[in-house]
Each structure stands twice: as structure tokens, then as C-alpha cells.
């Protein structure tokens, strides 16, 4: 936001690009989870664009992005976040977009040293080089720590009106924002991507381990955002909804899964991922009973649907005692 404003204030026409990777936090999770209902559902990049008075193009790269997540040339950050490869890819796409739409250069809000892996001084030239944008990439907030770029040399923007921020201290940026009349902030980058989340990364890694291959479909990564994920064995996993919003969201996935739900008592919809045996399904039913309102009863009726739109099989089960569900089964 700040980087855009700095360039706009030099009289340059700026438009925004926001890439949708499938791992974006906002929107989805808030829309799914009822308890988040009061949180703002607005899209923060659209909000920023509106504050700045610029157009924003939202581009779905979720399919192509798989390759970045599965095969990051520069490796992962603390979790399964391939930040450096991701930035190279996004800057490369932004530069291609510029060339297709008659724009002259790319700007990003990066600050040298702000992030341990992907925003170091040594990674800045890697992003510029590997994205092929070369010296048409301007980082207005830390330009004074970097070599002069083409737009500066051409006089399209003035170097003296760019900044020398570095490190994790955001105070100078906040002060600049105030002086430019910006007083409401959108969340800084990083908190908006599920791949930086430890629990989410563990679930993704578990999915790869269980399937014996590193791959995913968009539906897989959506479902990793909801429910309790419980894996009693390598061949199957349960996704147990935690509340009504998740229940409603997961209902949309019933055609693709075997699923269970209690009927004698209130309780969660549970999807079964994998290839469970009959004994596994019996165990699953007892766990569903455990998470139902009949958890303290001797007998709970759980319906099992092996294939959506086929008749349900009613199972009478005793809820599994909580101490029989080992912590190691919870994927988080």
C-alpha cells in the first residue's frame, strides 16, 4: 500500500495485481467459520485499491502455483512456504502482465531485511533476475539500499523521493504512512497465506505422506482449512467439522467422500478420506459418536453413507472414550 502511494505521489499511474494461490487466508476461512462471522469479510487488497484509487486485477494462479509449492527451487521457509520461489513467480507474472498491458515497470512493497528468508539483501537481486524483470523492478521503500533501476535512470521516478527502510522495525513505515495520510492498515504480507501456518503445513505434509506422493488438488487444500483432521492409520483420515459453518461448507464435499453423521444426537458431519476398511469405518463411527452430543451415552446411532445419494447404513455404536483417541492421531 505504502509503496504504491509513494510511486503514485510521483505522478505515476499505478494498477494493482493480486494473485490468488488457493492458500490465501482471507475470504475463505472467514466465510466458512461461523465463529468468524463478525470478522470483516472484505477482501483486503480490494480495500487497499479503493483507498488508493487504483484498479486491482485479481488473477487466479492456483493451478500453476502447484509447481511452486511442490518443487520450490529455493526451498521452504519455516513451514511449507516457498516464499522466494513464490515471489520470483509473482514478480515474473506481474512483469508479463505489464508487457501485455503497456505498463513500464513493477513495484513491490518489499523491505530489505524485513523477512528472514525471502527479503534479505542477497535475495533481492535473485528475484529481479529470475523473474526476468531485471532492473524494471522498483522497491520504493528500500530503494536506497539497492542499485538504481531503469525507471530511476530514465527519470520516470525520482530516486531522492524513494526510501531507505530496512529490517523488521516498522516504525519508520508507520510514520511515513501517517505523513501520507494513511492511518488504517491492511494486514502485512505473510499473515495472509496458509503456507506460513505450522498446523496447516503439517496437514499438507501428512496428506503427502499418506498418499506417498507430493501432489494436491484444489479441493484437498480447501479441506485442509476446515475441521479437525484425525488420522488413525495411513490408509484413512477423518475430517470432523467443528461447527455449523464448517458443517455447511463440508456438505458440499459429500459427493466425493464416504461420510458419517450422528442421527440419535446432534453432532458433526465427518468426511472419510482414503480407503478405509470395514473395521476402520466402525472405528470412525465410534469417533463421530465421541464428538456428538451423545458422547456420554452407551449407544449412539451414526449413519454411514459410502456413496452420496445411496442409502445410509445406520450403525449403533458406543462412543469412543476420549483417552482412547491418542494425541498422535490429531494432525495439527
Partner 1 sequence: MAQHELNARNLLCPLPVIRAQNKISELSVGDQLTVYCTDPGTLHDIPAWCRVHGHTLVSTEENSDEIVITIEVNDT
**Residues within the interface to ligand SF4 (CB under 6 A):** 81-83, 86-87, 189-190, 193, 195-196
Q: 48-53: long-range contacts at Cβ-Cβ below 8 A with a sequence spacing of 24 or more?
A: 48/1, 48/4, 48/16, 48/186, 49/16, 51/1, 51/182, 51/184, 52/1, 52/4, 52/5, 52/8, 52/14, 52/16
Nearest CB to partner 1, comparing residues 18 and 202:
18
Q: Any contact of residue 186 with partner 1 (CB under 8 A)?
A: no
- Is 24 a binding residue for partner 1 by CB under 8 A? The answer is yes
For β-strands 56-60 and 16-20, DSSP reports them as parallel
| Closer to partner 1 by Cβ: residue 40 or 78 | 40
Q: Which of ligand SF4, partner 1, none lies near 55, with the C-beta cut-off 5 to 8 A by kind?
A: partner 1
Judged by beta carbon, residue 71 or residue 248, the one nearer partner 1 is 248
Which among ligand SF4, partner 1, none contacts residue 91 (Cβ within 5 to 8 A by kind)? none
Least distance (Å) from ligand SF4 to the CB of residue 88? 10
| Residue 189 contact, options ligand SF4, partner 1, none, Cβ 5-8 Å cut-off depending on partner type | ligand SF4
**How do 313-317 and 300-305 pair as beta strands?**
antiparallel
Q: Looking only at residues 194 through 233 of this chain, which bind partner 1 when binding is defined by CB under 8 A?
A: 222
Applying CB under 8 A, which part among 35-43, 74-82, 84-92, 185-193 lies near partner 1? 35-43
Q: Does 252 bind partner 1 (CB under 8 A)?
A: yes
Residue number, 31 or 126, with CB nearest to partner 1: 31
Beta carbon nearer to ligand SF4, 16 or 262? 16
**Residue 54 touching partner 1 (CB under 8 A):** yes
- Distance of closest approach, residue 281 Cβ to partner 1, in angstroms: 27
Among 9, 13, 35, 60, binds partner 1 (CB under 8 A): 60
Contacting residue, 9, 35, 59, 213, with partner 1 by CB under 8 A: 59
Q: Which does 170 bind (CB under 5 to 8 A by kind): ligand SF4, partner 1, none?
A: none
| For ligand SF4, the closer CB: 142 or 193 | 193
User: 10, 34, 36, 56: which one contacts partner 1 (CB under 8 A)?
Assistant: 56
Q: Determine the Cα–Cα distance for residues 16 and 46; give it in Å rounded to an integer.
A: 9
Q: How far is the CB of 308 from ligand SF4 (least distance, A)?
A: 34
Tell me which residues in 267-286 interact with partner 1 (CB under 8 A).
Answer: none
Q: Which residues bind partner 1 (CB under 8 A)?
A: 18, 20, 24, 26-28, 30-32, 40-43, 46-47, 49-50, 54-60, 222, 252
Amino acid at each position: 500500500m505504502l509503496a504504491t502511494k509513494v510511486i503514485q505521489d510521483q505522478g505515476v499511474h499505478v494498477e494493482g495485481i493480486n494473485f490468488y494461490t488457493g492458500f490465501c487466508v482471507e475470504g475463505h476461512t472467514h466465510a466458512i467459520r461461523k465463529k468468524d462471522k463478525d470478522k470483516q469479510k472484505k477482501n483486503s487488497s480490494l480495500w487497499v485499491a479503493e483507498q488508493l484509487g487504483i484498479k486491482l486485477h485479481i488473477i487466479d494462479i492456483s493451478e500453476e502455483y502447484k509447481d511452486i509449492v511442490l518443487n520450490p527451487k529455493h526451498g521452504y521457509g519455516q513451514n511449507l512456504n516457498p516464499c522466494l520461489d513464490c515471489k520470483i513467480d509473482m514478480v515474473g507474472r506481474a512483469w508479463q502482465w505489464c508487457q501485455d498491458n503497456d505498463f513500464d515497470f513493477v513495484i513491490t512493497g518489499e523491505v530489505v531485511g524485513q523477512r528472514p528468508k525471502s527479503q534479505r539483501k542477497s535475495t533481492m537481486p535473485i528475484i529481479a533476475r529470475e523473474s526476468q524483470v531485471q532492473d524494471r523492478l522498483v522497491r520504493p521503500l528500500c530503494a536506497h539500499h539497492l542499485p538504481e533501476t531503469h525507471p530511476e535512470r530514465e527519470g520516470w521516478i525520482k530516486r531522492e523521493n524513494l526510501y531507505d527502510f530496512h529490517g523488521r522495525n516498522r516504525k519508520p513505515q508507520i510514520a511515513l504512512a501517517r505523513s501520507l495520510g494513511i492511518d488504517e492498515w491492511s494486514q502485512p504480507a505473510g499473515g495472509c497465506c496458509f503456507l506460513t501456518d505450522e498446523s496447516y503445513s503439517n496437514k499438507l505434509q501428512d496428506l503427502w505422506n499418506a498418499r506417498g506422493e507430493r501432489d494436491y488438488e484444489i479441493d484437498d487444500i480447501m479441506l485442509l482449512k476446515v475441521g479437525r483432521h484425525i488420522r488413525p492409520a495411513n490408509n484413512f483420515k477423518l475430517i470432523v467439522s467443528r461447527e455449523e459453518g464448517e458443517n455447511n461448507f463440508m456438505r458440499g464435499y459429500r459427493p466425493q467422500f464416504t461420510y458419517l453423521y450422528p442421527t440419535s444426537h446432534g453432532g458433526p458431519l465427518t468426511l472419510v478420506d482414503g480407503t478405509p476398511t470395514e473395521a476402520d469405518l466402525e472405528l470412525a463411527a465410534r469417533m463421530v459418536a465421541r464428538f456428538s452430543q451423545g458422547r456420554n451415552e452407551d449407544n449412539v446411532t451414526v449413519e454411514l453413507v459410502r456413496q452420496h445419494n445411496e442409502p445410509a447404513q445406520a450403525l449403533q455404536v458406543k462412543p469412543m472414550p476420549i483417552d482412547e483417541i491418542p494425541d498422535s492421531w490429531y494432525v495439527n
